Amino acid sequence: MSAAENNYRNELQKWLGTDARISFFWKGRVALYAILKAAGVGKDDEVILPAFTCMVVPNVIIYLGAKPVYVDIDSGTFNIDETKIESKISSKTKVILAQNTFGQSANLNAIMSIAAKHKLLVVEDCAHGFGGSYDGKPNGTIAHAAFFSTQWSKPYSTGLGGIAVTRDNELGKKISSLSENAINPSLKERFILKALLTAHNILLNPFTYSLLVRIYRTLSRMKLVVASSENTELEGTDLPKGFLKKMSRTQMTKGVAALRNLKKNIEHRKMVAAQYSQIISELGGTACFKSDSAEHTFLRYSILVEDKEKFMLQAEKLKLEVGDWFVSPLHPVMSSWEKWFYSEGSCPVAENICKQIINLPTHEKINEKYISRIQQLLALQKIY
């Protein structure tokens, strides 16, 4: 174990308030892969997950020979509807994935109760939720295991990165073994990641967001930058070569530094979210749901609008940063869902929400002036 890894693990354990076993990977999806593989998920097993996710999550399940089984979501929280989970459990079910969407934790008490009844493993999908909590406990420390993504867009970011956490010592040993035996990022990957981190800090702001995202996606397709998702992941379900990869020292060093600013970052996001809620209420819309039992970190502030396509065009015209997460139950895939074992019409709530949901930025570069401009945009269309 390197000094950088040991230091990073210690800092994370302090933040999470736990001595749980922690392992590091190149991306969040790789951390999930390691958890499921260590848990013995394999051929013909089934993993339950919400039908409102990034397609890289079911990809990981399929890489292991297992089958993703989708459950519709709650229209208020955008998380898995726990009342619909049991109807999807079969003799082949092995794991329930509990995603905390946009930073809002799922109803873990109910999900853990269902899992205990059926002797299933619960994995918190904390890709959006580092820094939040449920019932006073930090996200990632409640279920049997959890994974975090520290990708560019997250409140807690190392550029790219994945963290696996578990309180189960035996499971933790197996995950650690997978991490230790994973391949190292190449010199080229490490160099590009450092360059992107520098460019991200200097160039990215709400006014350059749309342009830089387009440039980044173009360079990603051309394989000129380290991408969040490779073309092969977006097009098929074959395990990419070199998928099981370690976290680099650059990511670990960045992670330790980012922890120092995380409380301030989250408080800023909550402040911005509170202002959005007030504006939306004044416009007659429904403010973003916030559970009394969970601390919402507002990766993004998500609402439903009358015409999503028109709203996105208006935002682009005004040069305002607005996200479209998720465009489909398997974001960003818009067709051929059967490759990922999803049947159109099977989760109508999620499918309808995908047609209406937009996300407002909450990060630290959003100031009062920018919020006023967002208010002008919101006033142009009906908000549900």
What residues form DSSP beta bridges with 183? 245
On whether the pTM is more than 0.85, the answer is yes
What whole-number distance in Å separates Cα of residue 269 and Cα of residue 79?
20
> What tens digit of pLDDT does each residue of 330-350 get?
999 999 999 999 999 999 999
Tell me the CB-side half-sphere exposure of residue 357, using CA atoms within 13 A.
25
Query: Residue 191: which pLDDT band, with cuts at 50, 70 and 90?
Result: confident
Query: Residue 261: which pLDDT band, with cuts at 50, 70 and 90?
Result: very high
Query: Residue 1: which pLDDT band, with cuts at 50, 70 and 90?
Result: confident
Q: Residue 198 has what pLDDT?
A: 76
Q: What is the mean pLDDT of residues 124-149?
A: 97
Q: What is the mean pLDDT of residues 107-114?
A: 98
- Helix ranges, 69-168 (H): 108-118
The H or E element spanning position 81 is none
**Pair type for strands 162-166 and 21-25:** antiparallel
Q: What is the mean pLDDT of residues 277-286?
A: 96
Cβ atoms of 97 and 125 within 8 Å: the answer is yes
> What tens digit of pLDDT does each residue of 302-323 get?
999 999 999 999 999 999 999 9
Average pLDDT in the chain: 92
Q: What is the mean pLDDT of residues 150-155?
A: 89
Q: What is the mean pLDDT of residues 149-168?
A: 93
Cβ atoms of 256 and 8 within 8 Å: the answer is yes
Q: Residue 214 has what pLDDT?
A: 56
Q: What is the mean pLDDT of residues 363-381?
A: 95
What residues form DSSP beta bridges with 135? none
Query: Residue 227: which pLDDT band, with cuts at 50, 70 and 90?
Result: low
Q: Residue 224 has what pLDDT?
A: 52
Flag the least confident range among 133-142, 201-210, 251-260, 276-285. 201-210
Q: What is the mean pLDDT of residues 43-67?
A: 98
**Pair type for strands 133-134 and 137-138:** antiparallel
What whole-number distance in Å separates Cα of residue 277 and Cα of residue 384?
13
pLDDT at 225 over 90: no
pLDDT: which is higher, 355 or 233: 355
Query: Residue 220: which pLDDT band, with cuts at 50, 70 and 90?
Result: low
Which range, 1-5, 30-34, 231-235, is most confident?
30-34
- φ, ψ at 94 (rounded to 5°): -125, -30
